Structure 1
C-alpha cells in the first residue's frame, strides 16, 4: 500500500486545507495548528503519505481503495480523493453522492459545490482515503493547546472594542454628548483595521489558506490577487493596503487617547474628505481590472459609513477652532507616518518567516532522505549501558531499534517525549528502556515519585506500570498527591529500590547527562537536529 501511495506525490499544496475540512466533516476535533505541524513537518510532504501518517499518528483506523466512479455510489463518504484539474493534481473531499449529483470540495475555490456525476468522473483519479472516526484518540495536550490559542485570539478580538466602550462610558459620565457617535465611529475603525490587516498579511503570505478561502477566485468577477497586484493598487509607490492599515490604526489611537467630543467632530469630516477614493477604487475594480476584491470592497463600505457620520456631527464643527483642528490632524498624520515606517520594517521580517517555513519543509525532507537519520545517528556519541539497572520494555522481539530515554518526573518536556516514545512502543515500532533521574536524597523532589513508580514496576505487570507512567505525566500532570490517590504506594523493598535509583543516578553522572529528556537510539545520542516526535518518520 505504501509503495502505491508514494507514487502519488506531485500535488498542489492544498493538503492542510483539505485535511482541515475533512476533520470537520468527520466531527474530529484537532486544532488546525496541530494539523499544520504534523503534516508540514512530514518528510514526504506534500504527498498522500503525509496524510496517511497524520491519521496513523492519532491511531485513527484508515483505508485506501480504488473504486471506479460507478462503485463510488455505493458509499465511501466522506472521503479524501484525488482530482486532476487542467492537468494538475489536487487533493479533494467527496462529501456525498445523491443520484447524479456529486457534492465535493473544490480545491481551487476552497468551497463545497455540486457537479454532475459525469463531470466529476472526468476529474476523478480512482483513489479514496477513508477513516474510522470511532477509533480517534485525542492528543492529551490538544484541549489545553486549543484553549490557550482561543483565549489569546479572544483577547485580541475584544480588547479594543472593550477599550472603546469603557472610554465612551467614561466620557458620557463626564458630560460628553457624542458618546454613541464616538462608539460607532471607532468600532468601524476597528473593523476596518481587521480587514486592512488581512490585506497587509496578503503581502506577507498570499498563499495563506484563510486568505484564499475568503478572497479566492470564486467566479470570474472575484479575484483579490488581480486587484492587489495591479498598478492601481498603489499611490506613488505606496500600497493602498498599507495606507488603509495606517489610516485605521491612527484613527483608533487618536480616538482612544483624544477627547471624544472633539474627535467625533473632526474625523467624520476627514472621512468625508477622503471619500473620493471610494469612487476611484470601485471604478478601478469594476471597469479597469474587471474583478472585485472582497476585502477592498469591505474597506470602501467602512469608509463610506464613516463619511456619512459627518452629517450627524456637522452641527458641532463650528465649535472647533482651526488651531485645535490642525493639532488633531497633525497628530493623526504623525501617528500614521510612524505606523507606516514600522510596517515597512516589519513586513520583510514576516516575509522572511514565511520563507523560512518553506525552507524548513525542504530541510525536513533532507533530514530523512537516503538514510539521513541513521547516517547522522552513527556520527553521534555512543554510550554503554553496562551495569545500568534500568527499566526494560520489549513488546516486539523482531524489532532491532531500542530507544533509551532519561526522564525527570517533574520535567514538562519529558512528559511530551515519554508520550511519543510510548506511542511508538504501543505500535510495535520500537522497544525502549527507561531511566528515571533522581538521587536517594529525601530532600530531592524527584525521589518520592521515582521511588513510587519503581515500586509499581516491581509489584505489577508492564501494562499496569506503563499506564501509571502515562497517568503521572498526562492525566495527573505530575501532581504526586493526585497520583497516590489512584496508585497507592505498594509494599516495597527500600534497599532494592534505592540501589536501582543510585545505579541510574550514577550512570547519568558518569555520562554527564545534565538535561532531560535525553534520548539514545541503539546506544547513540539522538542528534539535536531531530526531535523526539520526529522519530516516527525514521521508524516508519
Structure 2
C-alpha cells in the first residue's frame, strides 16, 4: 500500500482540484533523499510546478481563521507524530492521519496537538497530467468483464450456472486485491479491507505467514487466481460444448475443507483475521450453497470424461500461464523498489557535492559583453555556463536543461551560453553561432531562446539559416574568438560541457539531474555569503575596538 504521506499529499491535491500523475508523484516523493521530511514534500510539489508554501505560523486562535480550507499540518499526539491532512469543518477541523483514519477536533483541541507547521498548495489552473493510462486500463477491464458476463448469459444458462459463474468473477476480483497487497500496490478498495485499525484484523500477519504459502512457492493469491480463473474458463468451455458440469460440482465441494482450514488457521494459529481471506472463504461457501439451485436430473450425477478433461485442461493452462506471469509481476515491483532506492541515492546532494568538488574550479568570466547571458545578469548565486556547438547532436539535452533552468522562478540563477565552434567563419556551425549571438543582442532573450530551440531540435542547419538568416554584423566575431581562446585555455575540447559555479558537472550524472540540486546549491551559496558577512562584521568590530 502507499505510504501515508503519499496518500495525504494526493488527497490535498485532489481537494484543491489539482490532477497529477499519481504513480509519478509517489515515485518522486519516495525517491527524494530527505523523504519523509517537509523538504521532500515541497520539493516534489516544485517538481510538478505546483504553487506551494510551507509555513511555521503562530499557534493562536486568530491564526486558525486565516488558514486555507485544506492543508497538511504537523501534529503531535499520543498515537501520531507527523503529517496529517486537515480540512475545515463546521465543528472545527477534520484530521486524516493516513487517508483512512479520521478524527474531528475543535479549534482548541487542534491548537493543543498542532505544532504550527503547515503545507498548502494553490491551484493556478495548470494542465497537470492526469493518470490517463490508469483510467483507460480500469475502464478496459470493466468493459471486458461486462462483455464476458453478457456472453455467458447469452448461452441461456440455468440459475446455478449463472450464480456460480458470477461468484467466480467475484473471487477473481478479491484475489487480485490480495495480489496487490502482496506486491505492495495500492487501491482505495484494498485500503478499506486492510486498514488494520482493528487490533483483531491484519492482512499482513495472515498473508505473510507460513500457512499462506503452498509448496514454498505458491502464495495465497496465486492459488486463488488460478482457481477462480480456471473455473471461469471451465464454465465457458462446458456451456459452449454443451457438456455436463459435474466436474464443477465436485471441485466446489472439495473447496469446503480448505475454507475450514483457513478459518481455523486464522483463529488459532495467527490469531488475526484477514478480511480478504474471509471474503474468499465467503465466496467459496456461497458457491457451495448455489448447489441447492441445481436442477436435479440423471445427467447431474453421471460421470463425464469430457467434463473432467476440459476442467483439467483449463486448470493446467491457467497454472502454466500464471507461473509465467507471476514472477514477472513480482520482478517488476522489485525493480520499482530498486529504482526508488537508486534515485534516492542519486539525488543525495552530499554525494553530488563530494563528486563535483573533485574537479578543479576554473574562472568562467570573460571580457565580453555580447555573450548570451540568460537569467540574473547582476549578482547570481548560481552561475551555470553551457559550452555548446550548434551542430552537436548531444547538445540537445543540454539545451533542454537550459530551458528547464529558466523556468525555475529563482532570481539567483544565471545561465551563460558559450560556443565552442571552428575558427572558420564560412563553416556552418560558426555562422549559426554568430547569428544566435546577433539575435540575442538585437532581438532579445526570448527570440534568441526560440532560435536556439529550433537549432537544437530536428531542423536541419541549412533550413535553420534559411528561416533565421545569415549573420550580418562583424562585431560578434570577437565573441566567438574570446570563447574559443577560453575553451583552449581550459582544455575544453568537447561539447556539451556544463560548469556549475566554475566546476565541471560530473559525468556520473545525467545532465538533467542538475535540476535536483538547484535548491541545495543556492542554499549553500547563501550560507557562504552570510558567513562572509558575519566574518566581515566581526573584523570591523575588532578594528573599531582597537
TM-score when normalising by structure 2: 0.70
Q: 1:225 aligns with which of 204, 213, 225?
A: 204
- The separation in 1 between residues aligned to 2:174 and 2:294, in whole angstroms, is 26
The question of 1:296 aligning with 2:280 is answered no
Query: What secondary structure does 1:45 align onto?
Result: coil
- The separation in 2 between residues aligned to 1:106 and 1:308, in whole angstroms, is 41
- The separation in 2 between residues aligned to 1:274 and 1:451, in whole angstroms, is 83
Q: 1:157 aligns with which of 134, 141, 154?
A: 141
Contact 2:247 2:307 in 1 (8 A): no
Question: Which residue in 2 is equivalent to 1:201?
Answer: 180
Question: Which residue in 1 is equivalent to 2:131?
Answer: 146
- The separation in 1 between residues aligned to 2:458 and 2:7, in whole angstroms, is 39
Please give the per-residue CA displacement for 1:275-311, whole angstroms capped at 9, x wherever unaligned. Answer: 5244554566578767543323443444445445555
Question: Which residue in 1 is equivalent to 2:414?
Answer: 431
Please give the per-residue CA displacement for 1:111-152, whole angstroms capped at 9, x wherever unaligned. Answer: 443245565455332322233434x655xxx43x7334544x
Shift of 1:48: 0.8
- The separation in 2 between residues aligned to 1:271 and 1:496, in whole angstroms, is 89
Q: 1:323 aligns with which of 305, 318, 323?
A: 305
Question: Which residue in 2 is equivalent to 1:392?
Answer: 373
The question of 1:27 aligning with 2:20 is answered no
Please give the per-residue CA displacement for 1:250-283, whole angstroms capped at 9, x wherever unaligned. Answer: 3455566776355793564255224524455456
- The separation in 1 between residues aligned to 2:445 and 2:273, in whole angstroms, is 64
Q: Please list every run of 5 or more consecutive structure 1 residues that lacks an aligned counterpart in the other structure.
A: 1-11
- The separation in 2 between residues aligned to 1:258 and 1:478, in whole angstroms, is 59
Q: 1:338 aligns with which of 285, 299, 320?
A: 320
Q: 1:461 aligns with which of 444, 447, 451?
A: 444
The structure with the largest alpha-carbon Rg is 2
Shift of 1:216: 1.1
Q: Structure 1's 241 and 148: CA in aligned 2 closer, same or farther, altered over 3 A? A: closer
Matched pairs, number? 499
Contact 2:5 2:36 in 1 (8 A): yes
Shift of 1:215: 1.5
- The separation in 2 between residues aligned to 1:94 and 1:223, in whole angstroms, is 27
Q: 1:353 aligns with which of 305, 320, 335?
A: 335
- The separation in 2 between residues aligned to 1:230 and 1:248, in whole angstroms, is 22
Shift of 1:16: 1.5
Shift of 1:534: 1.9
The question of 1:92 aligning with 2:84 is answered yes
Please give the per-residue CA displacement for 1:481-540, whole angstroms capped at 9, x wherever unaligned. Answer: xxx9xxx956663687998999999989x96758xx764433514433352432335434
Q: Structure 1's 94 and 513: CA in aligned 2 closer, same or farther, altered over 3 A? A: same
Q: Structure 1's 358 and 275: CA in aligned 2 closer, same or farther, altered over 3 A? A: same
Q: Structure 1's 137 and 255: CA in aligned 2 closer, same or farther, altered over 3 A? A: same
- The separation in 2 between residues aligned to 1:382 and 1:323, in whole angstroms, is 82
* Residues 93-132 of structure 1 aligned to structure 2 (within 5 Å): 93-99=85-91, 101-107=92-98, 110-117=100-107, 120-132=110-122
Question: Which residue in 2 is equivalent to 1:8?
Answer: none
- The separation in 2 between residues aligned to 1:266 and 1:533, in whole angstroms, is 65
Contact 2:194 2:203 in 1 (8 A): yes
Contact 2:84 2:97 in 1 (8 A): yes
Bigger drift between 23-32 and 245-254 goes to 245-254
Q: Structure 1's 224 and 32: CA in aligned 2 closer, same or farther, altered over 3 A? A: same
Question: Which residue in 1 is equivalent to 2:56?
Answer: 65
Shift of 1:192: 3.1
The question of 1:420 aligning with 2:401 is answered no
Q: Structure 1's 396 and 222: CA in aligned 2 closer, same or farther, altered over 3 A? A: farther
Query: What secondary structure does 2:310 align onto?
Result: helix
Q: Structure 1's 314 and 126: CA in aligned 2 closer, same or farther, altered over 3 A? A: same
Question: Which residue in 2 is equivalent to 1:216?
Answer: 195
- The separation in 2 between residues aligned to 1:453 and 1:524, in whole angstroms, is 24
* Residues 305-324 of structure 1 aligned to structure 2 (within 5 Å): 305-307=286-288, 310=291, 318=299, 322-324=304-306
- The separation in 1 between residues aligned to 2:440 and 2:201, in whole angstroms, is 65
Shift of 1:198: 2.7
Contact 1:266 1:317 in 2 (8 A): no
Q: Structure 1's 28 and 337: CA in aligned 2 closer, same or farther, altered over 3 A? A: closer
Question: Which residue in 1 is equivalent to 2:532?
Answer: none
Q: Structure 1's 532 and 258: CA in aligned 2 closer, same or farther, altered over 3 A? A: farther
Q: Structure 1's 42 and 306: CA in aligned 2 closer, same or farther, altered over 3 A? A: same
Q: Structure 1's 20 and 453: CA in aligned 2 closer, same or farther, altered over 3 A? A: farther
The question of 1:260 aligning with 2:240 is answered yes
Query: What secondary structure does 1:428 align onto?
Result: coil
Question: Which residue in 2 is equivalent to 1:245?
Answer: 225
RMSD of equivalent CA atoms: 5.3
Question: Which residue in 2 is equivalent to 1:46?
Answer: 36
Shift of 1:177: 4.3
Please give the per-residue CA displacement for 1:367-419, whole angstroms capped at 9, x wherever unaligned. Answer: 312xx323312445999989999733241532253324458799985675344
Query: What secondary structure does 1:90 align onto?
Result: strand
Bigger drift between 263-272 and 43-52 goes to 263-272
Please give the per-residue CA displacement for 1:225-253, whole angstroms capped at 9, x wherever unaligned. Answer: 34334565455655433311222343455
- The separation in 1 between residues aligned to 2:175 and 2:480, in whole angstroms, is 62
Q: Structure 1's 325 and 80: CA in aligned 2 closer, same or farther, altered over 3 A? A: same
The question of 1:527 aligning with 2:507 is answered yes
- The separation in 2 between residues aligned to 1:208 and 1:357, in whole angstroms, is 21
Query: What secondary structure does 2:176 align onto?
Result: helix
Contact 2:211 2:265 in 1 (8 A): yes
TM-score when normalising by structure 1: 0.71
Question: Which residue in 1 is equivalent to 2:531?
Answer: none
